[in-house]
């Protein structure tokens, strides 16, 4: 059986108060005091008009913004573009906020708006809603970005006709420390998809 070739057509990194697309810095805010402020700055920079953004937790905001940067110049996103994401801290950042709201029995007011984000895969729901994707999605919790596994999983999705393209990567946040990397995989592009290439781009 001939192995189909796939490519990394675009990638986005959000790290250390900077946003990169395809290796080029597109936004930076060294003055941002919090992830919330930094994310809001990116939102304004991208000139987004999407009120639901403000309701998202910080993890979702970062994943959502990375997807917006990644898809910015694409005329159309195929509905069957799959999402394969991963991180290390799951939704721990928001889990703690939820825990704080329920630990005092005398002041027990859990917020539904916080509770809905106590699962990391909500990021994929937000990206899917925005881009009208009706596709396969999976979120994995691993110690580190596992380029080998993510590449294999994405290739299987495309090889078996489950997806035309895949947005894959790493969206991690814990206590104001964040690390975001998204890549758009398709049949077109300059960089051939291999675990080595994906890992190299992540580490850039």
Give the binding site for another protein (CB under 8 A).
51, 54-55, 109-113, 116
Residue 64 burial class via C-beta count within 10 angstroms: exposed 0-12, middle 13-18, buried 19 and up: buried
Scored b (16 or more CB within 10 A) or e, 113-140 reads ebebbbebebbbebbbebbebebbbbbe
Query: Rg (Cα) of the chain, in Å, rounded?
Result: 17
- Which CB atom, from 65 or from 70, has the smaller least distance to another protein? 65
Nearest approach in angstroms of CB 32 to another protein is 16
- Neighbouring CB atoms inside 10 A of 91's CB total 24
Nearest approach in angstroms of CB 56 to another protein is 9
Backbone angles phi, psi at 86, to 5 degrees: -155, 160
> Which positions ≥6 away from 35 have C-beta within 8 Å?
58, 61, 62, 173, 176, 178
- Which CB atom, from 43 or from 178, has the smaller least distance to another protein? 43
- Which CB atom, from 51 or from 161, has the smaller least distance to another protein? 51
Backbone angles phi, psi at 135, to 5 degrees: -140, 175
Nearest approach in angstroms of CB 51 to another protein is 6
Nearest approach in angstroms of CB 115 to another protein is 9
Backbone angles phi, psi at 144, to 5 degrees: -140, 170
Nearest approach in angstroms of CB 48 to another protein is 11
- Which CB atom, from 55 or from 72, has the smaller least distance to another protein? 55
Strand blocks (E) in the chain = 7-15, 18-21, 24-28, 82-87, 137-141, 166-174, 177-186, 191-192
Nearest approach in angstroms of CB 61 to another protein is 11
- Which CB atom, from 113 or from 152, has the smaller least distance to another protein? 113
- Which CB atom, from 5 or from 52, has the smaller least distance to another protein? 52
């Amino acid at each position: 059986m001939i192995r189909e070739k796939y490519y990394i057509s675009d990638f986005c990194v959000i790290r250390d108060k900077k946003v990169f697309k395809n290796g080029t810095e597109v936004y930076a805010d060294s003055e941002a005091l919090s992830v919330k402020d930094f994310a809001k700055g990116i939102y304004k920079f991208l000139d987004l008009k999407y009120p639901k953004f403000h309701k998202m937790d910080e993890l979702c905001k970062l994943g959502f913004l990375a997807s917006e940067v990644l898809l910015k110049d694409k005329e159309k996103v195929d509905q069957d573009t799959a999402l394969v994401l991963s991180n290390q801290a799951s939704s721990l950042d928001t889990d703690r906020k939820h825990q704080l709201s329920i630990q005092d029995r005398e002041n027990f007011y859990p917020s539904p708006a916080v509770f809905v984000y106590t699962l990391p895969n909500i990021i994929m729901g937000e990206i899917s809603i925005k881009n009208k994707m009706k596709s396969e999605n999976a979120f994995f919790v691993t110690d580190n970005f596992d380029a080998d596994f993510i590449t294999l999983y994405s290739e299987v999705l495309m090889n078996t006709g489950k997806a035309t393209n895949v947005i894959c990567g790493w969206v991690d946040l814990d206590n104001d420390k964040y690390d975001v990397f998204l890549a758009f995989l398709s049949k077109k592009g300059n960089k051939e998809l291999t675990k080595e290439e994906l890992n190299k781009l992540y580490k850039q």
